[in-house]
């Protein structure tokens, strides 16, 4: 249903200088700032999947969604949504997709909600029969009746979100993009929204991609999550696997005197022979940076320990400094659990 191949997006904007003098300087300067917001991302999403698109602020989530909706063109790579290139056939793509940005509404602020729906019916060319059917369904799952005649600006945040979701689904799109759909909502409304998303997905096999910081959204909705960090995809799999595999990962960086000596190091064999334990190559990843003179090992903390790694390395060369960190993914797992939810 959705296929991204090596998609990148680079923003180029004029360089900003601080202060008033800086503003003047900026007027006459041609200096540009380049920002790679999305960096060589590929994935395929099948019809009917609900995928959580996760990452910290500024990771590149919204930029990816904007490319899938046709609002932005990729700088590199290709994006296909139901066989259509959104940047080339934006209108055709629009018929297939629904979009909700949690931070702002797509509805007409001063009009009664009912009129927004009438306008959308025209825009998307929905037949009277389909409209009636879909409204019956949307009213049942989102209870729009309660406030259908009120101007959008008078709605509470929760009502507005239900309204926005309903509006995005009026033409029964094949793909639904939700950017932070539960942000700022209280628990009851969150729950309603999640149930609605689930029902729509089950009834129509709608493909759903949502960005969220809310672990509840992920746990209740997403059979799969894709994590991006600084524009790069760093994980694609289930939440369970992420917790099992990366929640326990640690990372140790060692500064060493003679990194060349570590080139041939088979760490797991070395640790096994030194410590009499059983380790496989899957229990760790290692990166040797000869120029920076560092050796970094990400490892499963239940399988091996820092002193074991250290002693194996010190058999070959002197270690001059050592830094212990969580891996990016372990940090992200923690972050979603600490900041997410209520």
Ligand X SMILES: Nc1ncnc2c1ncn2[C@@H]1O[C@H](COP(=O)(O)OP(=O)(O)O)[C@@H](O)[C@H]1O
The yes or no reply on residue 102 touching ligand X (CB under 6 A) is no
* Site membership for ligand X, residue 41 (CB under 6 A): no
Find tokens 């058999």 and name the residue. 315
Cβ distance 259 to 319 under 8 Å?
Answer: no
Residue 63 vs 192, nearer CB to ligand X:
63
Of residues 61 and 233, the one with the C-beta less far from Mg ion: 61
Does residue 59 belong to the site contacting ligand X (CB under 6 A)? yes
Give the whole-angstrom CA distance, residue 250 versus residue 325: 6
Of 68 and 138, the one with the shorter C-beta distance to ligand X is 68
Residues in 229-258 at the binding interface with Mg ion, rule: CB under 5 A: none
Rank residues 183 and 310 by Cβ distance to Mg ion and give the closer one. 183
User: Nearest CA to 234 among 43, 98, 70?
Assistant: 43
DSSP type of residue 15: P
Q: What is the DSSP string of 60-75?
A: SHHHHHHHHHTSS--S
Nearest residue (CB) to ligand X, 222 versus 312? 222
At its nearest, how many Å lie between Mg ion and the CB of residue 62?
3
Query: How many residues at the interface with ligand X, by CB under 6 A?
Result: 12
Decide if residue 206 touches Mg ion (CB under 5 A): no
Q: How far apart are CA 93 and CA 65, in angstroms?
A: 13
Q: Which of 248, 223, 110, 97 is nearest to 171 (CA)?
A: 97
Question: Whole-angstrom Cα distance, residue 213 to residue 180?
Answer: 7
Phi first, then psi: give them for residue 265, nearest 5 degrees.
Answer: -65, 120
Residue 62 binds Mg ion, judged by CB under 5 A: yes
Shortest Å distance, C-beta 212 to ligand X: 11
212 lies in the site for Mg ion, by CB under 5 A: no
The contact mask relative to ligand X for 189-228 (x = CB under 6 A, - = no) is ----------------------------------------
Nearest CB to Mg ion, comparing residues 82 and 214: 214
Nearest CA to 55 out of 338, 342, 285, 333 is that of: 333
From 130, 191, 185, 135, select the one nearest 160 (Cα to Cα): 185
DSSP letter assigned to residue 18: S
| Among 43, 42, 40, 37, residue whose Cα is nearest residue 76 | 40
Minimum Å distance from CB 301 to ligand X? 29
Does 62 engage in binding with ligand X (CB under 6 A)? Answer: yes
Token pair 């539960």 is found at 182
Nearer to Mg ion, 230 or 272 (CB): 230
When asked if residue 69 is in the footprint of Mg ion (CB under 5 A), the reply is no
Among 52, 55, 86, 181, binds ligand X (CB under 6 A): 55
Enter the DSSP assignment of 272.
H
CA atoms in the 13 A half-sphere facing the CB of 161: 23
Query: Could you tell me which stretch among 50-58, 151-159, 254-262, 316-324 binds ligand X (CB under 6 A)?
Result: 50-58
**How many residues belong to the site for Mg ion (CB under 5 A)?**
2
57 binding ligand X? (CB under 6 A)? yes
Residues that bind ligand X (CB under 6 A): 11, 13, 35, 37, 55, 57-63
């Amino acid at each position: 249903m959705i296929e991204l191949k090596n998609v990148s997006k680079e923003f180029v904007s004029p360089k900003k200088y601080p202060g008033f003098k800086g503003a003047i300087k900026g007027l006459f300067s041609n200096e540009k700032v380049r920002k790679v917001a999305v960096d060589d991302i590929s994935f395929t999403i099948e019809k009917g999947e609900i995928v959580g698109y996760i990452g910290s602020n500024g990771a590149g989530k919204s930029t990816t969604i904007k490319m899938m909706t046709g609002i932005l063109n990729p700088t590199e790579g290709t994006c296909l949504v139901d066989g259509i290139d959104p940047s080339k056939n934006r209108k055709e793509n629009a018929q297939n997709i629904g979009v909700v940005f949690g931070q702002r509404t797509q509805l007409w602020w001063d009009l009664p909600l009912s009129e927004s729906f009438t306008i959308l019916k025209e825009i998307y060319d929905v037949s009277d029969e389909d409209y009636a059917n879909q409204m019956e369904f949307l009213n049942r799952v989102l209870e729009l009746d309660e406030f259908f005649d009120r101007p959008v600006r008078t709605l509470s945040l929760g009502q507005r979100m239900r309204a926005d979701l309903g509006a995005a689904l009026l033409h029964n799109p094949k793909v639904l993009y939700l950017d932070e759909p539960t942000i700022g909502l209280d628990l009851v409304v969150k729950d309603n929204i999640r149930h609605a998303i689930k029902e729509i997905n089950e009834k129509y096999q709608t493909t759903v991609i949502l960005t969220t910081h809310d672990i509840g959204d992920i746990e209740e909705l997403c059979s799969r999550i894709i994590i991006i960090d600084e524009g790069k995809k760093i994980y694609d799999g289930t939440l369970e696997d992420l917790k099992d595999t990366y929640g326990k990962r640690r990372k140790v960086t060692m500064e060493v005197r003679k990194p060349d000596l570590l080139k041939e190091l088979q760490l797991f064999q070395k640790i096994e022979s030194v410590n009499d334990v059983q380790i496989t190559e899957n229990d760790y990843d290692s990166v040797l940076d000869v120029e920076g003179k560092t050796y970094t090992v990400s490892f499963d903390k239940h399988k091996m320990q820092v002193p074991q790694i250290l002693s194996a390395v010190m058999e070959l060369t002197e270690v001059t400094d050592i830094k212990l960190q969580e891996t990016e993914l372990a940090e992200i797992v923690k972050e979603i659990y600490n900041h997410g939810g209520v």
